[in-house]
Chains A and B, each alone.
Chain A
Amino acid sequence: MIKNFLLTTFCFFSLCLFSQERDIKGSVADKESGMPLLGVNVIIEGTTQGTTTDFDGNFMLASVQKDATLVFSYLGFKTLKIKVAGQTQFDVQLESDTESLDDVVVIGYGSSSKRKITGSVSTVNSESIQDLEPINAATALQGTSAGVSVTPQSGAPGAESNIRIRGVSTNGNSSPLIILNGAQYDGGLNSINPQDIESITVLKDAQAAIYGSIGANGVVLIETKRGERNQSAVVSYNTYVGLQETTRKLPLLNANEYVLLTNEKYANAGLDLPFTNLSQINNNTDWQDQVFETPTVISNNVSIRGGSENTDYSFSASHLDQGGIVAPDKSNFKRSTASISLNTDVRDFLNVSANVFFTNNRSQGINSFGLGSVLFNAINIAPVINRSQNNLDGTIDLGAEVVNPLTQINNTFNDFESNRLSGSFKAELEYIKDFKLTARYGFNSSKLNNREFFPEFNFGTGKVFNRPFNQVNLNQQDFYDYTFDLFNTIEKTFFDDLDVNLTLGTTAFRAHGEGLFASRTGVPRNSFQFADLDSATGLGDNQTNGSFVNEFRRLSYFSRVEFSYLDRYLLSGIIRRDTSSNFGPNNASAWFPSLTAGWIMTEEDFIGTNDFINFAKLRGSYGQLGNDQIENFLYLSVLNGEATYVFGEDQSLTEGQALGPLANPNIKWEISTKLDLGLDLEFLNRDLRVTFDYYRNEREDLLIPSIPTSGIFGTSAPGSLAPTINAGTVVNKGIELSINYSKEVNDDFSFSINYNMSTLDNEVTQINGAPFLEGGQFSVGQLPPSRMEVGLPIGYFYGLKTDGIFQSQAEVDSHPSQALLGATARPGDIRFVDVNGDGTISQDDRTYIGDPIPDVTMGFNLSFNYKNFDFSAYSFANLGSEIVRNFERDQVNVNMLSHRLDRWTGPGTSSTEPRVSAGATANKLFSDYFVEDGSFLRIQTISFGYSLPTEALKTVGLTSVKIYAKVDNAFTFTEYSGYDPTASTGAPIGGGIDLGFYPLPRTYTLGLNVKL
């Protein structure tokens, strides 16, 4: 009876239970694109029951309990949990997760996760790159990554950018190492199509020690986009058209003002006036209007990406065509790229991948830098000259350098083309469980062709650009390098809670370069059309040729061990030994150790997580990295100097041999010791993320190229050069703060705000063998304006300090004499400070008058999404940098900036602007009169987009369509009077001096992104 009862009851409950279960089905799609997602894990929470979505994103689960919870998880997307609650049909959309703690972070010879990484890292993902849509991928790092400074070398199309990570540490090569898909990349970032980039990761601290020898300047890791496994092909087409213009025209004197001030100059020097008959001034040429234009930039980009179960693939091609805002016919940049990436699991223990990038760059350029550049001429040429006057004879004497910029453009002919093939092939073999061997071969091969033609032309008597006969110059250069990596990774878990990850490996790197140069005169018809060595007919000494061969090798062994205990105590150690062919046998090898540690505090029971705080990690790193980025074979005396003299009755050139750069047999590795202490915090449901870092980098044994040495070593001889010496120590320290807040307010509205900031305190702490080093150039024939000296920032400005303007002769007389500066002071001249107090003003009174290194750099970025609209704005700022105004030619008749109208003309008329004079004055000597505040805030990008409704698109077979409008380089708030406060050569000593910087264009863009 009881048995029956029990049986019946059991059956009943069983029935009940059975009746609680039902089959469910549904589909999973990408919320953003609407594309079905394939291979999404759908699991019933708390069980092992689950399935994955099929090719169309569909899934089916049998017998699911009514109160169960479904968990949808997919790599790169936010995990979604949905209660079944009796429903049977689930059409789910997953939202991509750009900021997951489990996101893979590339760290070199492997990867880690955001959660477990113990070094200081900045990452820029493809979304930011998509928002910014930069022409040069380096721009995407600007203002988005704390501690990373990006300064364009010029606004000319195709110009590269200087990237500096945590300050300037060396006055050798300060550029970070660029690793493209694991292999060393030797090209500039503008040879990479930004739309191919999946992520840019910057390793800023000792964690980069895995790249020991070459990581001292930091490491930039670029990973390119791959296809998704189990996804049918996604075809994307992106295009934009932009219109570019200059952001600024300098306020210059017009013809009347010019005549007035020029006459006044002569009158002040007691000389005859150059303009006596004002009615003969017929021209008022605005030369800047003449040279600036508004050319277009056009980009087209196509990609096809997808994958099957075992293979993913990516194909892409792009074309960019950008004109320069000065002379677009002669200054432009065309980039075509194509890439293939394949990744396949041959067996479950063997993965093979390959990716190859081809880039063709074609560019033409005008003289765009410094003395003699087109803009320099436009600023300095007199407004009274007619635009069509090609030969300046008969007009006012503007010296040997200043010519008509339009004539200069018309006589500029060149064509530069480069073809580059870069890529890597990789095989990963799991030969025993948890033991993985990786072999990777990366390469860069590039061929550069340059053709220049100088027509026979006379710009006016004595002009330095004059060519008595024409000439064609050709040069061809080939560069090839490979990186071969072989490393073994072992991942094991011991005692349940101790994860150990060991990497052991070796890398061999070889770089080889060759070049050929030749030139010939007698180009037919004085025309670029026939500018070839073969067509030209010149004979004799003017036909020259030359060549070079470079060879460099480096061999490295490295090991990294990472421990993670209880998922909260993290420790890793790296050791690497490098041998470089750049150093002599005694100094060729060096060891680079580092240690990093982290503690995930929120994993501790006594802290734990709550509604407010979700994640907290304390981390630190300390270690040494090296630098061998110098010219090859500097430890050897090579007979590659110039030895040319004239012998014989016929006065013919005779070539001999002489020593080249002075050798330094003791040259050795530059060593950087890096300390970083950081804190990563996440609050409010991970909506608010804060990262804080303190860093200190001490760079010892700085490799200083051509360090000034005594003349007795013959380094002034032709083809010789001062030696490269390990000559000092520089410390960079500061803090970095990054705050992200992103919030999905509701289905229609989300936003994110990012603020980052870093401070930089740069100090030279030691220079061996010299009290200071000098560099840079100010005006013509003046002393070097920049110095590196103990106790001061590298490359600080060294010049005279001013103290207003002499208002009267009495003031001049009561002040120490300024005669030693080359001219006796008169009322209206600049009064200089007797810094050394010796009772006279001389060049010995020069002192610190500023430095080009910003104290604080900041980035502030916003984005909003409302329904189908999106808006984003990126901005960045530099505070506390100085910049030197050096685009005014020191010549008596050139045009001037309009602030000179406020010149001193009598007592009380000005205390800042000295008088004008054609006579000798010391006012032109390098002083703080020429140093300006270079601080600025730039609104880099404002973008507004609209995505068409997906339902409507489906009917025409499209997945997504977005149109957008964008302004780049929209506004710059600055006090600086030149074109662009970012003007810098990037030179550690001699940077921050504006020689007539080609301004970055402001670009108005309309774009279209389509996905099939």
Chain B
Amino acid sequence: MMNTFYNKCALILIAFALVSCSDDFVDVDPPFQLTSETFFETEDDFRNALVGAYDLLQATYINVILAEIASDNANAGGESATDVVGWQQVDRMIHTPVNDDIDNVWDFNFAGVYRASYIIENKDKIDFDGKEQIIAEVRFLRAYFNFELVKWFGPIPIKPEGRFELGEETSIPRASLEDVYAYIENDLSLAIPNLSPQPPQVGRASKASAQALLGKVHLFQEEFGLAAAQFNDVVNSGFRLYGTVPEEDVLNLFEFEAENSAEAVFEIQYTGAEGAGFDCLQCSEGNVMVGFSGVRGYNGPLYEPGFGFNLPTQEMFDAFETNDLRRELSILDIEAWAANTEAVFTIGNQDPQTGHTGYYNRKYIPRQNENLGDANLTQPNNYRAIRFADVLLMAAESLNRGNINDVLALDYVNQVRSRAGLPDINVSGSQLTDEIYRQRRLELVGEGHRFFDLVRTGRAVQQIQGFTAGKNEVFPIPLEEIQFSQGNWEQNPNY
């Protein structure tokens, strides 16, 4: 009797187990999370994904500081001659495909391309008002990242229709320079008509942002007419140089109060409101370049300490005329400053080629502020990626070198000079070209443009110590990438 009862229990248990434990048991979805399959189904999805694409702009701090160190403007600096060895090598122009920091440039910018491409891949999934503006911003961003990549590495693999998929590193080749530029121009050309002249929010790309970038892309290919046309539009879009109205002082151009000013054509936004750590520098919402450029062991007024990289050279300092307001704007003479303010500082790297110079990049050193820790990584200084002075000088260069209009070009140059407190000049032809080059260096020192200006105008080998022509115009493809591609991507010449 009892046995029968237990037998029944057993049978029920077995039946229960067989029924309940079918394979459905393991059929679960990630709890409370969106997956790729269910994404891009609402307008908000697109807006949220757009934030993700913008996010990578903050990681391009690396392009700026490393390009500055690569140029003749600055020494690597740091704690010692081996501190951030990848930067030290770039300063000496002895960098090889084994270089973590160059690898970061590749990785961070391609991450931007990937996020933008993810949206473009899904752009036709739904329709809503304002989608064109979003897709146009995405195309602008993708062009921005791709242009950085082509500047650094030359030909790169491209896939305009969407994201790269696993395995394609061994099948999609590095496209020709021509194709890469055509791809960038195409993204920008599609973006421009759909971008609003006034961006929907401060920090987002406007029509002028895309036009200025397209002009720059043409200028890099020496397509002066096409470049001038774009710059012309931007010049007439209502921007003005900061410090040209009474309530502004040009010396404040890189202070917090001058962020997103009337000079800003496109500005990368940073904040110190979120903490960051060394394990993911690209995750910081702050401008990592700024803390790295700060005065070592600094204790005094106005500024905060930093790691002492990216040190302007004596030659750079001397390139300014003494009455040029931009010398004080751009370069902090730390000894003079310490003498005046009783601030203290320490000296790290003392190597004659890469070490201490006594000068700091005043445009992008930390100002005293309430940023979260690690304070070295979360400085809120916006990066003025494209500012009106740059546009004026690029416009002048296009007009002059394209033999289009030296008078207009001279006017643009004099606008820039005048804002710096310098008298107008009157030159033309190659003299004007030289003046444009000189003004570009003086105006844009510390902003990461110099190295690529020297390369595209063929002056790098004269100006940069250790520069090897036919090699150092571009940086090496990271060794890891060459290996991932299993022979699909060739190394740049002579690396």
Q: Can you list, as one digit per residue, whether each of A616-639 has a CB less than 8 Å from chain B (1) or not (0)?
A: 000000000000000011001111
The segment from B3-11, B179-187, B312-320 found at the interface with A is: B3-11
**Beta-carbon contact of B84 and A781 below 8 Å:** yes
Q: Can you list, as one digit per residue, whether each of A441-477 has a CB less than 8 Å from chain B (1) or not (0)?
A: 0000000000000000000011010111100000000
Q: Can you list, as one digit per residue, whether each of A707-738 has a CB less than 8 Å from chain B (1) or not (0)?
A: 01111111111111001000000000000000
Chain B proximity of A431: nearest CB distance (Å):
5
Q: Can you list, as one digit per residue, whether each of A654-682 has a CB less than 8 Å from chain B (1) or not (0)?
A: 11111100111000000000000000000
Q: Can you list, as one digit per residue, whether each of A912-955 has a CB less than 8 Å from chain B (1) or not (0)?
A: 00000011110011000000000000000000000000000000
Assembly CA distance A712 to B145 (angstroms): 12
**B446 contact set on A, CB distance < 8 A:** none
**Beta-carbon contact of B483 and A645 below 8 Å:** no
Assembly CA distance A892 to B480 (angstroms): 31
**Beta-carbon contact of A822 and B271 below 8 Å:** no
Known A553-B28, A644-B285; judge A637-B55 contact (CB<8 A).
no
**Beta-carbon contact of B52 and A658 below 8 Å:** yes
**Beta-carbon contact of A711 and B106 below 8 Å:** yes
Chain A proximity of B359: nearest CB distance (Å):
18
**A466 contact set on B, CB distance < 8 A:** 373, 375
Known A581-B26, A646-B271, A919-B351; judge A720-B111 contact (CB<8 A).
yes
B110 close to A (CB within 8 Å): yes
**Beta-carbon contact of A639 and B35 below 8 Å:** yes
- Contact residue among B26, B32, B45, B80 (Cβ-Cβ distance under 8 Å from A555): B26
The segment from B200-208, B226-234, B235-243 found at the interface with A is: B200-208
**Beta-carbon contact of A714 and B274 below 8 Å:** no
CB contacts under 8 Å to A, within B247-300, are 259-260, 269-271, 273-275, 280, 282-283, 285, 294, 296-299
**Extra inter-chain contacts (20) besides given A638-B35, A717-B56, A783-B98, CB under 8 Å:** A397-B346, A431-B3, A462-B296, A462-B307, A464-B376, A486-B14, A549-B32, A645-B51, A663-B36, A708-B480, A711-B478, A712-B110, A712-B168, A713-B110, A713-B169, A716-B110, A718-B283, A781-B85, A890-B82, A919-B350
**A639 contact set on B, CB distance < 8 A:** 33-36, 39
- Contact residue among A636, A710, A717 (Cβ-Cβ distance under 8 Å from B55): A717
CB contacts under 8 Å to A, within B1-32, are 2-3, 6-7, 9-10, 13-14, 17-18, 20-21, 23, 25-28, 30-32
CB contacts under 8 Å to A, within B148-174, are 157, 163-164, 166, 168-169
Assembly CA distance A644 to B57 (angstroms): 11
Assembly CA distance A659 to B274 (angstroms): 20
A92 close to B (CB within 8 Å): no
**Beta-carbon contact of A437 and B169 below 8 Å:** no
**Beta-carbon contact of A712 and B201 below 8 Å:** no
**Beta-carbon contact of A715 and B111 below 8 Å:** yes
Assembly CA distance A892 to B80 (angstroms): 7
Assembly CA distance A189 to B126 (angstroms): 53
Assembly CA distance A488 to B88 (angstroms): 69
**A541 contact set on B, CB distance < 8 A:** 271, 273-274
B474 close to A (CB within 8 Å): no
Q: Who on chain A is nearest to B38 by CB? A: A639
**A306 contact set on B, CB distance < 8 A:** none
Chain A proximity of B343: nearest CB distance (Å):
10
**B373 contact set on A, CB distance < 8 A:** 464, 466-468
Q: List 21 interface pairs A-B (beta carbons < 8 Å), by A numbering.
A: A349-B6, A400-B376, A462-B305, A540-B273, A541-B271, A551-B31, A555-B23, A579-B25, A588-B23, A637-B35, A647-B202, A651-B203, A651-B259, A655-B48, A659-B36, A713-B114, A716-B104, A718-B59, A823-B82, A843-B96, A924-B82
**Beta-carbon contact of B10 and A645 below 8 Å:** no
Chain A proximity of B353: nearest CB distance (Å):
9
**Beta-carbon contact of B107 and A711 below 8 Å:** yes
A561 close to B (CB within 8 Å): no
**Beta-carbon contact of A646 and B10 below 8 Å:** no
Q: Can you list, as one digit per residue, whether each of A824-848 has a CB less than 8 Å from chain B (1) or not (0)?
A: 0000000000000000001110000
- Contact residue among A662, A723, A781 (Cβ-Cβ distance under 8 Å from B83): A781
B334 close to A (CB within 8 Å): no
A642 close to B (CB within 8 Å): yes
**Beta-carbon contact of A647 and B274 below 8 Å:** no
B58 close to A (CB within 8 Å): yes
Chain A proximity of B6: nearest CB distance (Å):
5
Assembly CA distance A349 to B487 (angstroms): 69
- Contact residue among B58, B114, B299 (Cβ-Cβ distance under 8 Å from A393): B299
**Beta-carbon contact of A553 and B33 below 8 Å:** no
B467 close to A (CB within 8 Å): no
Assembly CA distance A978 to B45 (angstroms): 53
A770 close to B (CB within 8 Å): yes
* Among all A-B residue pairs, the 10 with the closest Cβ atoms: A656-B51, A714-B114, A920-B81, A658-B52, A643-B52, A637-B36, A541-B273, A711-B107, A646-B269, A716-B107
Chain B proximity of A927: nearest CB distance (Å):
13
Q: Which residues of B contact A (CB under 8 A)?
A: 2-3, 6-7, 9-10, 13-14, 17-18, 20-21, 23, 25-28, 30-37, 39, 45, 47-52, 54-59, 79-86, 88-89, 92, 94, 96, 98, 100, 103-104, 106-108, 110-115, 118, 157, 163-164, 166, 168-169, 201-204, 259-260, 269-271, 273-275, 280, 282-283, 285, 294, 296-299, 305-307, 344, 346, 348, 350-351, 354, 370-376, 380, 478, 480-481, 483-485
Q: Who on chain A is nearest to B156 by CB? A: A712
**Beta-carbon contact of A645 and B14 below 8 Å:** no
**Beta-carbon contact of A656 and B484 below 8 Å:** no
**Beta-carbon contact of A461 and B299 below 8 Å:** yes
A891 close to B (CB within 8 Å): yes
**A462 contact set on B, CB distance < 8 A:** 294, 296-298, 305-307, 376
Assembly CA distance A713 to B168 (angstroms): 10
**Beta-carbon contact of B98 and A844 below 8 Å:** yes
**Beta-carbon contact of B111 and A770 below 8 Å:** no
**Beta-carbon contact of A553 and B26 below 8 Å:** yes
**B478 contact set on A, CB distance < 8 A:** 711
Assembly CA distance A720 to B55 (angstroms): 12
Chain B proximity of A852: nearest CB distance (Å):
23
Chain A proximity of B103: nearest CB distance (Å):
7
Chain A proximity of B52: nearest CB distance (Å):
3
CB contacts under 8 Å to B, within A540-595, are 540-542, 544, 549-551, 553-555, 579-581, 588-589
**A746 contact set on B, CB distance < 8 A:** none
**Beta-carbon contact of A648 and B201 below 8 Å:** yes
- Contact residue among A461, A709, A892, A920 (Cβ-Cβ distance under 8 Å from B166): A709
Q: Who on chain A is nearest to B373 by CB? A: A467
**B115 contact set on A, CB distance < 8 A:** 658-659, 714, 717
Which one of A579, A654, A772 has the greatest number of beta carbons of chain B within 10 Å? A654
Chain A proximity of B9: nearest CB distance (Å):
7
Known A468-B370, A553-B28; judge A640-B82 contact (CB<8 A).
no
**Beta-carbon contact of A712 and B45 below 8 Å:** no
A820 close to B (CB within 8 Å): yes
Assembly CA distance A640 to B51 (angstroms): 13
**Beta-carbon contact of B297 and A643 below 8 Å:** no
Which one of A632, A637, A712, A718 has the greatest number of beta carbons of chain B within 10 Å? A712
Chain A proximity of B100: nearest CB distance (Å):
7
Known A399-B79, A822-B89; judge A439-B166 contact (CB<8 A).
no
**Beta-carbon contact of B350 and A918 below 8 Å:** yes
**B106 contact set on A, CB distance < 8 A:** 711
**A645 contact set on B, CB distance < 8 A:** 51, 54-55, 57-58, 203, 269, 285
A421 close to B (CB within 8 Å): no
Assembly CA distance A716 to B56 (angstroms): 10
Assembly CA distance A843 to B7 (angstroms): 73
A17 close to B (CB within 8 Å): no
Assembly CA distance A712 to B480 (angstroms): 12
Assembly CA distance A149 to B166 (angstroms): 37
**Beta-carbon contact of A656 and B23 below 8 Å:** no
Q: Who on chain B is nearest to A720 by CB? A: B111
**A771 contact set on B, CB distance < 8 A:** 483
**B47 contact set on A, CB distance < 8 A:** 656
